Chains A and B, each alone.
Chain A
Amino acid sequence: MWRSAMAWAVIALVNTPAYADLQVRVPQVDYLELEFEHNGLVTFDSKGSPNHNAQNYTNSVGYGVTPWWGVELEGEMEAGGGQHLLWSATTMENTFQITQPGQYFFNLGFFVEYSQSTLRGEPSSFTAGPIVQKELNNVLGLDTLHTLNLFLSRDVGHNATKQTGFEYAWQSLVLTHPLISPGVEFYGFIPDLAHAGPTSSQQHWVGPVLAGDVNFAPYGKLGYQVGYLWGLTPDSGRSAIRWRLEYEVTF
């Protein structure tokens, strides 16, 4: 009975639209810092739609191994609309810091991720791409921070497709106060770049975000982000809420 229920849950999950990670990666590595991070995403759409109440949660632990390399081990749970949550993947994320913040016109990093699917019959995947960041200080009296992720992904292993996926994430923050910085985010996901199809069949979102952190030095730092996103295409669903909580401490 339990096995049958699990099988139906897996089928339902596989048949729900794939979502990109609605997260913005930064090009900095916090050397010698241990980080615990939780991300959540819940989507909203008309009742009965697979985009309604789809959920995605990640919990990860990361460490700044060198001044230029940070690694994170992540567990990912997903549920299609109205379905039970399942552990869907175990992921290793690597961030390589290429430039010092403020050293050049852009801050530059590179992201590489391997995601091992834990769902039977589902392929694993590689994702990689550059992280570009620009600090604009004293523009109309404000300091702002702009971060762009441009990632490509490929399936590997059983049932891997030949598709190359493309996802982008862009976040612009106005650095008003460490506790609260407002901003705007854009996300997009094209499952097959070679056959991207019309924009209406892709996923694109936009919405406001709040970010901030509280420093408990020397006992670590607690950071948060919360954003509300509107789907810009029918495939994106109507809207979504996403959040991030992270605690980092020197270790």
Chain B
Amino acid sequence: MRLILCVTCALGLVGNALAADTPTFSLTIQNRAFSPAELRVPAGQKIELHLKNADAAASEFESETLHREKVVPAGKEVVVFVGPLRAGTYEFFDDFNPKARGHIIAE
């Protein structure tokens, strides 16, 4: 058991050491819509998305092309890491309210 805890900690430390500073972008969910609905980000680079839910109900940021899903509780902010992305357009939506949609343009 000590061995597997050590392996887990070691992998975590390696991961921390290899983490690099990433550009940060913000998205707000308000009135059951994403703002902004279009976000331009650099291609070929990992980005950090700060998702703020200003509504009174929980939302779930989801994107099949970005391979991400993350619940954003009401009134809270969460962080989602995506990429590095190829140049192109990546759609995302609110899984709890699929009419709320937006896209990320990597360029």
A152 & B71 in contact (Cβ 8 Å cutoff): no
Q: Could you tell me if A32 and B71 are in contact, using CB atoms closer than 8 angstroms?
A: yes
CB closest residue in chain B, given A137: B84
Q: How far is the CA of A98 from the CA of B14 in the complex (A)?
A: 13
Q: A105-B18, A128-B1, A130-B4 are in contact. Are A100 and B11 (CB under 8 A)?
A: no
Contact flag A250-B60 (CB < 8 Å), given A105-B19, A130-B11, A143-B67 = yes
Asked whether any CB of chain B lies closer than 8 Å to the CB of A159, the reply is no
Is A5 interfacial (CB 8 A cutoff)?
A: no
A150 touches B7 (CB 8 A): yes
Asked if A86 is at the interface (CB within 8 A of a chain B CB), the reply is: no
> How many inter-chain residue pairs (CB < 8 Å) link A and B?
93
Interface size class of A (residues with CB under 8 A): 35 or more
Query: Does A178 have its Cβ within 8 Å of any Cβ on chain B?
Result: yes
List, in ascending order, chain A residues with CB within 8 A of B83's CB.
Answer: 102, 137
Chain A residues near B36 (CB-CB < 8 A): none
Residues of A within 8 A of B85 (CB): 137-138
In the complex, which residues 161-210 of chain A have their Cβ closer than 8 Å to any Cβ of chain B? 175, 178
Cα distance, A64 to B58, chains bound together (Å): 14
How many whole Å from B41's CB to the nearest CB in chain A?
Answer: 13
Residue B81 contacts which of A32, A103, A110, A150 (CB distance < 8 angstroms)? Answer: A103
In the complex, the answer to whether A145 meets B4 with C-beta atoms within 8 Å is no
Which partner residue on chain A sits nearest B82 by CB separation?
A: A102
Interface residues of B in 50-88 (CB under 8 A from A): 58, 60, 62, 64, 67-71, 78-86
Which of B7, B18, B44, B98 lies in contact with A217, CB distance below 8 A?
B98
Taking a contact as CB atoms under 8 Å apart, the answer to whether B96 and A218 are in contact is yes
Nearest to A104 among chain B residues (CB) is B15
Q: List 13 A-B contacts (CB under 8 A).
A: A31-B71, A100-B79, A102-B83, A103-B19, A103-B79, A104-B18, A129-B4, A130-B4, A138-B85, A150-B4, A215-B95, A217-B96, A250-B96
List chain A positions with a Cβ less than 8 A from chain B: 30-33, 64, 67, 98-106, 108, 110, 128-130, 132, 135, 137-138, 141, 143, 145, 150-152, 175, 178, 215, 217-218, 250
**Apart from A98-B8, A105-B14, A143-B67, what 5 extra A-B contacts exist at CB < 8 Å?**
A67-B78, A102-B46, A102-B68, A102-B80, A108-B15
Rank and list the top 10 A-B pairs by shortest CB-CB distance, nearest first: A104-B15, A102-B81, A105-B18, A130-B8, A217-B98, A178-B64, A31-B71, A106-B15, A104-B19, A129-B4
